[in-house]
């Protein structure tokens, strides 16, 4: 890159970008549609700060994103602060402190920006928009199902009806690996093979659980098929309740949304560092980038919770773009009461600051498809 390019005033750090018209407005509108759906299901909005002292930010599930958190010294308190990489730990802090006395289950929602130290291969952006829900204080299949059902309804509100919810139970694989009867090195190798979806290596390294692990690995796909494999598998006693909880969650979702596309990967354990039960990742058909993800965790040290975070910037790349609001040019001396009435109907009115010799040409220059004539918006053709 040339010196001129490096010194250009519009240059931003890697992974950061300006969001320009009309994309910025489209994202804001999408976020509000998501939040409106959450509110209709009783989720009340909270707004945590961008920065917190790192002790609070990294408590509980926040420890999982510590390596993605920008840190800086607070010049007033001389204590280290972190710029949030995820909003869920902040909502958990609010629930266990400021809202500790509120009735459970507690339903909270949020929307805002997060910043990561590094982008990923699939998504190089380091500034990420989030909109999500947290259901705190219930440890039931109904709560696990609710975040999926509300998430599906919220995505439908922005035009995404063909989505897939991929369910996992990251606590199951460690139980099966432990029951394999292999040494520590063997357990580590087996976990790597499961993570790579390497069926041949899983069969070779799986010890007493080789057949079960291989069958479950190959069963990943539509939820009904995977649940059938789980029901037939020779699971150790400690694994059976985990499988039953997953089946109960799917049954609850099916009861309320029989047409919702559900997939299941029985031996996926991504996120095991803090997830304690059913987890979910949301995809659009044919896309590899996640529309959202979430799952069960502990709020504070002991309180059960589950949640779902959606990524509005990714959602907008997949969803059909909403029609841009019509723009009408209001010439100097026009009827401003008529312009106000148009704004009340959702139009954008662009008023002339000074008289111009050719109002139609000025309207086109400003990106307007209409011009106000009398009390009506006339199309420019």
Predicted pLDDT at 273: 64
Asked whether the predicted pLDDT for residue 86 surpasses 90, the reply is yes
Predicted pLDDT at 272: 47
Predicted pLDDT at 120: 84
**Average pLDDT of span 7-30:** 89
Asked whether the predicted pLDDT for residue 238 surpasses 80, the reply is yes
Query: What percent of the chain is modeled with pLDDT above 70?
Result: 97
51/61 Cα distance (integer angstroms):
17
Predicted pLDDT at 332: 95
**Average pLDDT of span 118-135:** 92
Q: Which helix (H) or strand (E) holds 297?
A: strand 292-299
**Average pLDDT of span 250-271:** 92
Q: Average per-residue pLDDT in the chain?
A: 93
Query: What percent of the chain is modeled with pLDDT above 90?
Result: 86
Predicted pLDDT at 9: 76
Per-position DSSP letters for 214-268, written without gaps between them: HHHHHT-EEHHHHHHHHHHS---TTTHHHHHHHHHHHHHHHHH-TTSEEEEETT-
Predicted pLDDT at 6: 55
Q: Using CA atoms in the order 115, 297, 309, 101, what is the torsion angle rounded to 10 degrees?
A: -90
Q: Using CA atoms in the order 273, 128, 287, 164, what is the torsion angle rounded to 10 degrees?
A: 60
Predicted pLDDT at 3: 54
**Average pLDDT of span 156-171:** 95
Q: Among 107, 132, 114, 163, which residue's Cα sits nearest to residue 31?
A: 132
Quick count: other Cβ atoms within 10 Å of Cβ 49? 10
114/130 Cα distance (integer angstroms):
7
36/274 Cα distance (integer angstroms):
29
Asked whether the predicted pLDDT for residue 115 surpasses 90, the reply is yes
Per-position DSSP letters for 209-228, written without gaps between them: GHHHHHHHHHT-EEHHHHHH
* pLDDT tens digit sequence for 356-375: 999 999 999 999 999 999 99
Asked whether the predicted pLDDT for residue 329 surpasses 60, the reply is yes
């Amino acid at each position: 890159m040339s010196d001129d390019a490096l010194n250009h005033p519009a240059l931003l750090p890697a992974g950061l970008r300006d969001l320009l018209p009309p994309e910025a407005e489209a994202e804001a509108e999408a976020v509000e549609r998501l939040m409106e759906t959450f509110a209709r299901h009783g989720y009340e909005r909270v707004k945590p700060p961008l920065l917190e002292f790192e002790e609070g930010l990294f408590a509980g599930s926040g420890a999982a994103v510590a390596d993605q958190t920008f840190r800086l010294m607070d010049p007033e308190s001389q204590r280290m602060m972190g710029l949030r990489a995820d909003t869920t730990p902040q909502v958990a802090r609010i629930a266990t402190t400021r809202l500790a006395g509120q009735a459970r289950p507690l339903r909270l929602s949020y929307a805002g920006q997060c910043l990561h130290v590094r982008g990923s291969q699939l998504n190089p952006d380091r500034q990420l928009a989030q909109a999500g829900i947290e259901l705190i204080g219930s440890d039931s299949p109904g709560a696990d199902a609710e975040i999926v059902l509300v998430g599906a309804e919220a995505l439908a509100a922005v035009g995404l009806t063909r989505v897939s919810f991929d369910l996992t139970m990251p606590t199951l694989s460690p139980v099966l690996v432990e029951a394999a009867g292999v040494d520590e090195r063997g357990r580590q190798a087996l976990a790597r093979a499961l993570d790579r979806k390497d069926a041949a290596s899983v069969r070779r390294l799986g010890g007493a659980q080789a057949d079960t692990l291989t069958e479950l690995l190959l069963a990943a796909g539509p939820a009904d098929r995977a649940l059938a494999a789980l029901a037939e598998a020779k699971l150790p006693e400690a694994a059976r309740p985990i499988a039953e909880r997953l089946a109960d969650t799917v049954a609850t979702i099916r009861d309320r949304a029989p047409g919702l596309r559900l997939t299941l990967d029985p031996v996926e354990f991504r996120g095991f560092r803090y997830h304690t039960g059913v987890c979910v990742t949301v995809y659009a058909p044919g896309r590899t980038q996640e529309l959202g993800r979430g799952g069960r965790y502990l709020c504070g040290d002991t309180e059960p919770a589950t949640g779902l975070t959606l990524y509005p910037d990714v959602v907008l790349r997949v969803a059909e773009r909403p029609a841009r609001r019509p723009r009408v040019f209001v010439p100097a001396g026009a009827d401003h009461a008529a312009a106000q009435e148009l704004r009340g109907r959702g139009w954008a009115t662009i008023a002339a600051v000074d008289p111009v010799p050719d109002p139609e040409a000025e309207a086109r220059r400003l990106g307007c498809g209409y011009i106000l004539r009398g009390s009506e918006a006339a199309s420019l053709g």
